[in-house]
A = this chain, B = another copy of it.
Amino acid sequence: MAIPAPNLTPPFNIVRLSHTELRVTDLAWSRGYYVDTLGLQVTYEDSETIYMRAMEERGHHCVILKKADVGSVGVLGFKVWSDEDLDKAEAWFKSRDLPTCWIERPFMGRVLSTRDPFGVPLEFYNQMERLEPIHQKYNLYRGVKPLRIDHFNLFSSNVDDSVKFYGDLGFRVTEYTEDAITGRTWAAWMHRKGGVHDIAFTNGTGPRLHHMAFWVPTPLNIIDLLDLMSTTGYLENVERGPGRHGISNAFFLYIRDKDGHRTEIYCSDYQTIDPDHEPIKWNLTDPQRQTLWGAPAPKSWFELGSVFEGADLVDSELKSQPIIAP
């Protein structure tokens, strides 16, 4: 089950990951966390929802916080190249016997709602309300100075199947971990927009969202966030890092909100835009793939994730990864 060759002529043109909806149980707490501490900018809010964007984004929102009784993930959103691509998308998902419907979403044009074969709720759109640039309004920068949403990372109960499905959609693998004993893919990083990933999959009970990630300017912004969180009541929300991943070469920090939604703060990606860009293969037995510098990740990082609305969980057949050698 080797990594499939990239599909350079996908059925429709996905530009990039775009947004997600997080269901949260304490909207005020989440505002303190995402807005006042991380530094996302509110673009709309009412008593039930908060829409936010990062500093260099022109689209109306990258994260929607929605008040709920239980924490979960409502949807993963992707932007497509043209309005025509939406119709192509509908046809393609229908051809795979996957559910499709057109839904209304505030601040957005036509939205195609669907699910992948594992139950992950997806939506595709071409048009979202565009806002004025704020990347040079430096008095608005706060917290970790988040510049843009970078990627989603999911637990999948069958990573080979996930890679095949998203590969068919034109996502190209940049790095992956192989279990040398079974030949199965343990984890894979796949992109549309020319970086290491728009979406990634790791073996585990799934589908669940392991994390969403934000791109920040330099490692010093991550250090600033750690100083801030650890002295303003968010110490328990720091889960892992700072460190450098072997895979993706990212300087990272992982934090988790009150509902368990995990965010990666991320910098030091690289460009992968060439159609003949070769994936990098890592062995499951190489601990440097996870932390180049050697420090192990905590158990929670391997096990915990956010469930998706309406998706049933399936255990992976592959035996669970030894925590001791991350």
Contact = CB atoms under 8 A, between A and B. Distances in A.
Interface in A214-260: 217-220, 223-224, 226-232, 235-236, 238, 242, 244, 246, 249, 251
A244 B317 CA distance: 40
A219 B224 CA distance: 11
Interface string A1-32: 00000001000000110000000000000000
Interface residues of A, number: 57
Contacts of A228: 138-139
A236 B287 CA distance: 12
A270 to B, nearest CB: 4
What does DSSP make chain A's interface, helix, strand, loop or mixed?
loop
What number of copies of this chain does the assembly contain? 4
A69 interface: no
B273 A16 contact: yes
Contact of A139 (B82, B231, B273): B231
Contacts of A138: 224, 227-228, 230-232
Given A56-B270, A232-B139, A292 B218 contact: no
Interface string A143-177: 00001100000000000000000000000000000
Interface stretch (A115-123, A274-282, A300-308): A274-282
A184 interface: no
A193 B231 contact: no
A319 interface: no
Interface string A298-326: 00000000000000000000000000000
A244 B226 contact: yes
B81 A278 contact: no
23 contacts: A56-B270, A56-B271, A130-B276, A135-B270, A136-B227, A136-B292, A138-B228, A138-B232, A139-B228, A139-B231, A194-B194, A217-B218, A217-B268, A218-B218, A219-B220, A219-B223, A223-B244, A223-B251, A226-B244, A227-B292, A230-B288, A235-B288, A238-B295
